[in-house]
């Protein structure tokens, strides 16, 4: 099964690299041509460290079958010297899913791109947008925007090493470099020298001194017009815009200018937003009828984790925003985050949470 559907049996958890190195599994029910995505990058959920782990991606896949999903950034060092299965294992249901790498050495990036292919990822993405000090000390992330030729060599090495699409996620500039020419030259060099054709552009600068990563997602101003200009000057490239986009109307508006939209924080905090995307942006049926159905599917997943000895609260945290905006959502969230319940079975906690949401909490908990 490629994608989990409402009513599906307990999800299978994958645990090993794939032997078929070139293709994702065939869906049991192929999508009708009219429901196929016009391009694979039309809509995606951003890579987010500590947030978009395999559990979060499983939840997102229940809510949208067509949205592209990204892993958290994994450094080349962690893959080449660390626990590969811990970093790369994912659920079969997550496709299409991209592995995001952090690194700068072409040979290391090539070795990791090979691993990405062996493990069955659909894309490998290079992070050129992270401004954190730790990442700067490792000389990768956003500071790589000042080294376009090195990045181009890295992209080329990755492409030579695997048959996956190799994409780059970057900012529009670093520090106080505000000119369009800087990002244009970065993209141009990666395209001409590295053969990169897909660019995901977070439409604000990264200020490498004096701002925390969180502030770097909020303070440098958003300048969507620069990303639109990239698309009009490089019409042959796939340009995906990212940063501050939330509503379906905002996404639709951006799709008038660029090939794709990547949504980060809003998708995480308001996961139910994803449930409308297949219909709104892919002309396909919504995969789940309502929030309760989505919750039921995820509770089955939590049960499968618990049965394998994985603490389910690690995964439950990703669905805390599912009922946002509805009466009782706060009470529902409080039950799911109550550490006193973490040894109980997920189904039991789900019953308590629903009762609390309906205002019957005390009776059931007693």
Ligand X SMILES: Cc1cc2nc3c(=O)[nH]c(=O)nc-3n(C[C@H](O)[C@H](O)[C@H](O)COP(=O)(O)O)c2cc1C
275 φψ region: left (φ > 0), alpha (ψ -120 to 50), beta (else): alpha
Residue 174 and residue 216: Cα distance in Å, rounded?
A: 11
Smallest gap from residue 142 Cβ to ligand X (A): 9
CA 196/CA 239 separation, integer angstroms: 11
Closest CA to 47 of 350, 335, 265, 194: 265
Contact by Cβ (8 Å): 145, 170: yes
Question: In this complex, which beta carbon is closest to ligand X, that of residue 18 or of residue 265?
Answer: 265
Query: Stretches 14-22, 104-112, 123-131, 293-301: which one binds ligand X (CB under 6 A)?
Result: 123-131
Please tell me which residue in 112, 128, 130, 162 is annotated as part of the active site.
130
Q: Which CB sits closer to ligand X, 109 or 306?
A: 109
**Binding track, positions 91-120, relative to ligand X; x by CB under 6 A:** ---------x--------------------
User: Given the complex with ligand X, which of 50 and 256 has the nearer CB atom?
Assistant: 50
**Is 258 a residue that touches ligand X (CB under 6 A)?**
no
Least CB distance to ligand X at residue 161 (A): 21
Residue from 11, 96, 120, 243 touching ligand X (CB under 6 A): that is 243
By CB under 6 A, which span of 54-62, 109-117, 236-244, 282-290 interacts with ligand X? 236-244
Query: In the complex, what is the shortest distance from the CB of residue 266 to ligand X, in angstroms, rounded to a whole number?
Result: 6
206, β-bridge pairs: 174
- Minimum CB distance to ligand X smaller for 129 or for 271: 129
**Is the CB of residue 35 less than 8 Å from the CB of residue 254?**
no
Q: Has 112 been annotated as catalytic?
A: no
The span from the CA of 263 to the CA of 47, in Å, is: 9
Query: Which positions from 124 to 163 touch ligand X by CB under 6 A, shown as an x/- string?
Result: ---x-xx---------------------------------
- Between 40 and 220, CB nearer to ligand X: 220
- For helices 180-192 and 148-161, give the axis angle rounded to 10 degrees: 30
Cα gap 146→173, rounded to integer Å: 9
- Residues 264 to 283: which contact ligand X by CB under 6 A? 264-266
Of 44-52, 156-164, 172-180, 186-194, the segment contacting ligand X by CB under 6 A is 44-52
Give, rounded to a whole angstrom, the gap between the first and last alpha carbons of the chain.
41
245 binds ligand X (CB under 6 A): yes
Residues in contact with ligand X, counted by CB under 6 A, come to a total of: 23
- Give 100 or 104: the residue with its C-beta nearer to ligand X: 100
Q: Which residue is nearest to ligand X (CB)?
A: 264
* Residue 47 near ligand X by CB under 6 A: yes
* Binding region for ligand X (CB under 6 A): 46-51, 72-73, 100, 127, 129-130, 169, 202, 217, 242-245, 263-266
Active site residues: 130
């Amino acid at each position: 099964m490629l994608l989990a559907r409402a009513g599906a049996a307990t999800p299978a958890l994958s645990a090993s690299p794939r032997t078929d190195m070139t293709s994702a599994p065939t869906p049991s029910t192929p999508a009708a041509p009219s429901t196929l995505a016009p391009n694979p990058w039309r809509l995606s959920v951003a890579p987010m460290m500590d947030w978009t782990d395999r559990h979060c991606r499983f939840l997102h896949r229940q809510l949208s079958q067509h949205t592209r999903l990204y892993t958290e950034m994994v450094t080349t060092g962690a893959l080449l010297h660390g626990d590969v299965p811990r970093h790369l294992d994912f659920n079969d249901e997550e496709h299409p899913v991209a592995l995001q790498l952090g690194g700068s050495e072409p040979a290391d990036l090539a070795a990791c791109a090979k691993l990405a292919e062996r493990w069955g990822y659909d894309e490998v993405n290079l992070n050129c947008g992270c401004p954190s000090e730790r990442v700067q000390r490792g000389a990768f992330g956003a500071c790589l925007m000042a080294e376009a030729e090195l990045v181009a060599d890295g992209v080329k090495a990755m492409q030579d090493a695997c048959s996956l699409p190799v994409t780059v996620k970057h900012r529009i500039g670093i520090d106080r470099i505000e000119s369009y020419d800087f990002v244009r030259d970065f993209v141009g060099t990666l395209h001409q020298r590295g053969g990169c054709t897909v660019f995901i552009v977070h439409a604000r600068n990264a200020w490498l001194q004096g701002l925390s990563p969180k502030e770097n997602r909020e303070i440098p101003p958003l300048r969507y017009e620069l990303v639109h200009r990239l698309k009009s000057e490089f019409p042959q490239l796939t340009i995906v815009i990212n940063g501050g986009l939330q509503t379906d109307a905002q996404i639709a508006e951006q799709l008038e200018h660029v090939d794709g939209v990547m949504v980060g924080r809003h998708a995480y905090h308001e996961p139910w937003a994803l449930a409308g995307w297949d219909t709104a942006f892919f002309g396909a049926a919504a995969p789940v009828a309502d929030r309760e159905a989505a919750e039921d599917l995820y509770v089955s997943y939590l049960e499968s984790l618990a049965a394998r000895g994985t603490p389910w609260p690690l995964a439950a945290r990703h669905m805390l925003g599912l009922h946002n905006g509805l009466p009782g959502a706060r009470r529902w969230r409080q039950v799911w985050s109550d550490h006193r319940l973490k040894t109980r079975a997920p189904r039991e906690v789900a019953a308590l949470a629903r009762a609390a949401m309906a205002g019957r909490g005390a009776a059931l908990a007693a």
